[in-house]
Amino acid sequence: MKLLKIAAGAVSGLAMLAGTAMADDKPVVGLIMKSLANEFFQNMMVGAEAHQEKRGDYELLAVGMQNETDFESQINAVENFITQGVDAIVVAPADSRAMVRPLKKAMDAGIVVVNFDVALDEEAKKQRGVELAFVGPDNRGGAKLAGDALGKKLGEGGKVVIIEGNPGADNATQRRLGFEDSVAEYKLDLLDSRTAHWETEEANSVFSNMLTAHPDIQGVMAANDSMAIGVVKALESAGRDDILVVGFDNIPAVGPMIEDGRMLATVDQFGTDMAANAIDLALEVVNGGPELEGWVKTPIELVTAD
C-alpha cells in the first residue's frame, strides 16, 4: 500500500497513518481521529485499515493528533483534505466547537462530511448554518452505566471524584453529566471533579493531588480508560487498594485490571468498528444515497469482571 503524501508542513503536529495513491475510479475518504497515543484510537485505526482492505472499493487517508490537546492539527487536516479534493471526510473532533468552521468549508466544497464518536456543538452548528448528523454512542448513558456500577457498590454517601476529559469536547461533557446522574441517583458524595484532558500521566498527577486532599475517597469515575490507568498507577504508588475505579472505552490494557480488581468496570463503545461504520455511511452518501440525519446511535455495553 502506497502512502498518499500530505504537502510538507501543511499539517503541523499531525501523525500520518495510512493512505493510498489517489485513484480516479475509487472515492477517497479522509479519516481524522484524535490522539494516536490513546490505545482506543490505535485500535480504531486498525479497524479502519482492515475495513478498507476488505471493501477494496475506496482509498483511505487517515490521520491523528500527536496528543489530546493538539486541536490545531485537526483543523489543518480538514484544510488539507479540501485541497486534496477527497470525496468524504469522516471526523472524530477533538474540539466540538472549533471544528465546525473548517468542516462547514469542506461541506461548501462539496465534500461529504460524517461526524462520528464526538458530536459537534449544536449551538456552533446553528451559528454557522450547519446541519450535520452525529454517528456515535450515548456518552451520557454509557457513563451512567459505569457510574451506576460504582454507586451500587458504594451505596449512599460513598465518597467519589470525577476525572473529566477535554472541556471543549462534547463527549467529555456528556460523560461528566452521566457520572453526575449516578451521583444524584445513588446519593453519592462528590468530593471533586477535574479535567485530565484524556491523558494517562495528567490523570496520575491530578488524582494524586485529589487523594492527598481527600484521603477518604472511595471511588473514581474516569471519563476514559487512559485516565483510569493513570488513576490505577497513582493508587499503586500510594499503596492503596481500597478505592474502586471505573472508566470508559474498554481498551485492551484495562482487561487485566478489571479481572484482578484494580478496576471495577468500563464501558465498551466498540471503537474498532466505529470509524469503519462511519466510513460505510459516508460512502453511501458519496454513491448517491440520502444525507444522514439526526443521531445515528452506535452500541455501548458495560464491562465488568462478571
* Beta carbons within 8 Å of 26's beta carbon, 6+ residues apart: 57, 58, 59
CA separation for the pair 116, 298 (Å, rounded): 10
| 304, part of any domain | no
Structural domains counted in the chain: 2
> 282 lies in which domain range?
2-137+273-298
Residues 124, 161 within the same domain: no
pLDDT at 31 over 60: yes
Q: How many CB atoms lie within 10 A of CB 16?
A: 16
| 303, part of any domain | no
Residues 123, 208 within the same domain: no
| 220, part of any domain | yes
Copy the grid coordinates of residue 213: 486532599
* pLDDT computed for residue 19 by the predictor: 45
- Write the secondary structure of 240-275 as one string of H (helix), E (strand) and C (coil): CCCCEEECCECCHHHHHHHHCCCCCEEEECCHHHHH
Cα dihedral: 157, 242, 212, 140 (round 10) = -60
| 288, part of any domain | yes
CATH code (residue 99): 3.40.50.2300
Amino acid at 10: A
CA separation for the pair 223, 142 (Å, rounded): 10
* Beta carbons within 8 Å of 244's beta carbon, 6+ residues apart: 150, 153, 154, 218, 219, 220, 264
Residues 21, 123 within the same domain: yes
Mean pLDDT throughout 194-213?
Answer: 98
Backbone angles phi, psi at 52, to 5 degrees: -65, -40
Mean pLDDT throughout 237-246?
Answer: 98
Residues 100, 192 within the same domain: no
Stated as kind and residue range, the H or E segment containing 30 is strand 28-35
Q: How confident is the model at residue 68 (pLDDT cuts 50, 70, 90)?
A: confident
CA separation for the pair 91, 30 (Å, rounded): 8
31 dihedral zone (left: phi>0; alpha: psi -120 to 50; beta): beta
Q: Rg for the chain (alpha carbons), in Å?
A: 20
Residues 132, 100 within the same domain: yes
pLDDT at 298 over 50: yes
Strand ranges (E), 104-188: 112-116, 134-136, 159-164
**Tens digit of pLDDT for each residue in 162-202?**
999 999 999 999 999 999 999 999 999 999 999 999 999 99
| 121, part of any domain | yes
Residues 44, 71 within the same domain: yes
Note whether 143 and 180 are within 8 A (CB): no
Note whether 166 and 95 are within 8 A (CB): yes
Mean pLDDT of the chain: 92
* pLDDT computed for residue 2 by the predictor: 28
User: Would you say the pTM of this structure is higher than 0.75?
Assistant: yes
* pLDDT computed for residue 136 by the predictor: 97
Note whether 216 and 226 are within 8 A (CB): no
**Longest Cα pair distance anywhere in the chain, in angstroms?**
63
Backbone angles phi, psi at 233, to 5 degrees: -60, -40
**Tens digit of pLDDT for each residue in 77-134?**
999 999 999 999 999 999 999 999 999 999 999 999 999 999 999 999 999 999 999 9
Between the two ends of the chain, the Cα-to-Cα distance in Å is 42
Note whether 303 and 266 are within 8 A (CB): yes
